[in-house]
Amino acid sequence: MSEPTLILKREGHAGTILMNRPKALNALTLEMIRDFAHAIGQWRNDAAVKLVVLEGAGGRAFCAGGDVRAVREAAVAGEHAPVTAFFSEEYAVNEGIARFGKPWVSLIDGICMGGGIGLAVHNGPRIVTENALLAMPETAIALFPDVGTSYILPRLPGAIGTWLALTGARLKGADAVHAGLATHYVPRARLQEMRDSLVQEGDTAAVERFAETPPEASFAPQRAAIDRCFSQPSVLDIIGALEGEGTEWAAEQVKVLRRMSPTSLCVSLALLERGAALDLRGCLDEELHLTQGVVHGHPDFREGVRSVLVDKDGSPTWTPATLEDVDHAAIRAMFR
């Protein structure tokens, strides 16, 4: 028997969840998602469970995202049902975490991207260490910010959420606190002691005791430029504003944006604009609708996952190839 991919335990006053696919950076399979749903259902109404502690096995990752390789294989095979099951059940878990009604403590001590963010950001506290690395990298594989982040990202300070969604910028632990994705900074060396206290005490007081003031945000020098440029109404306007900045940082952002799927950049920007005016369930419904057109109806997702995760050649061929050639009526038609 192989080891379980999600290890659920009752410890002290806590329910604990260990994501256990360390070789795949704990990327979420449908099996893991179903075990999450089961745990949420059991522990929500169990008065002896005062809080949940969520962590990743292996020391390198919290959770690198969804098992998008499997989603791609189903899409290539023309199978819709497993793709719909994956996203609808994943998003139901995101909503279940938001409505859990008790602290859902995420210990983020490594890579946390996409689907991993969705397991942490809808409840709290969310603790990061100096080893944490958070990102929303979906535009690189022609997906879009999902798992309820279309609700979260527009509500981050200024235009930080749009910057993260479009460029896939990597945030270290301290940066994630300043951006609002994480809530507390605890050095890795003290994380296990804090975990033990949480489980024994059955409340989140230990988080406040162990938390330290994070170092300054690495993006602090660019904060004003992020808001100026990423608040523009279209992706081409964002690029124009970045070019107008005349800084090395701005030129690098343009280079990054020009490597991403042009369609995905436009879908993502339009999604965040809609998400700003929707509640979490409305955002998840919009995201679920979008997965149809993005995964089955457009070539870029297959090509992006092929390039980033299957062949790892880093040179995807996008359709259309440039932002200038994106058909905006086709983008609008992908939404509900």
Site for ligand QUE, rule CB under 6 A:
24-25, 27, 64-69, 113-115, 137-138, 140-141, 143, 308-309
Minimum CB separation of residue 30 from ligand QUE in Å reads: 13
Rounded distance between C-alpha atoms, residue 272 and residue 155, angstroms:
10
Minimum CB separation of residue 296 from ligand QUE in Å reads: 17
DSSP lists the bridge partners of residue 254 as none
Query: Would you state the structure tokens that stand for residue 130, as one six-digit string?
Result: 């100096």
Comparing C-alpha atoms, which of 325, 306, 326 is closest to residue 316? 306
Active site residue 246: no
Minimum CB separation of residue 309 from ligand QUE in Å reads: 6
Among residues 73 and 227, whose Cβ is nearest to ligand QUE? Answer: 73
Minimum CB separation of residue 139 from ligand QUE in Å reads: 8
Among residues 110 and 173, whose Cβ is nearest to ligand QUE? Answer: 110
Active site residue 201: no
Minimum CB separation of residue 143 from ligand QUE in Å reads: 5
Residue 215 has φ and ψ, to the nearest 5°, of -60, 165
Active site residue 158: no
**Catalytic-role residue among 15, 56, 110, 115:** 115
CA 204 to chain centre: 24
Active site residue 146: yes
Rounded distance between C-alpha atoms, residue 306 and residue 310, angstroms:
5
Position with the least CB separation from ligand QUE? 65
Rounded distance between C-alpha atoms, residue 92 and residue 34, angstroms:
10
CB atoms within 10 A of CB 46: 12
Query: Would you state the structure tokens that stand for residue 197, as one six-digit string?
Result: 């206290």
Among residues 55 and 90, whose Cβ is nearest to ligand QUE? Answer: 90
Among residues 49 and 112, whose Cβ is nearest to ligand QUE? Answer: 112
Encode 155-176: b = buried (16+ Cβ within 10 Å), e = exposed.
ebeebbbbbbbbbbbbbbbbbb
Among residues 16 and 264, whose Cβ is nearest to ligand QUE? Answer: 264
**Catalytic-role residue among 15, 56, 65, 66:** 66
Q: Which residues are catalytic?
A: 66, 115, 138, 146
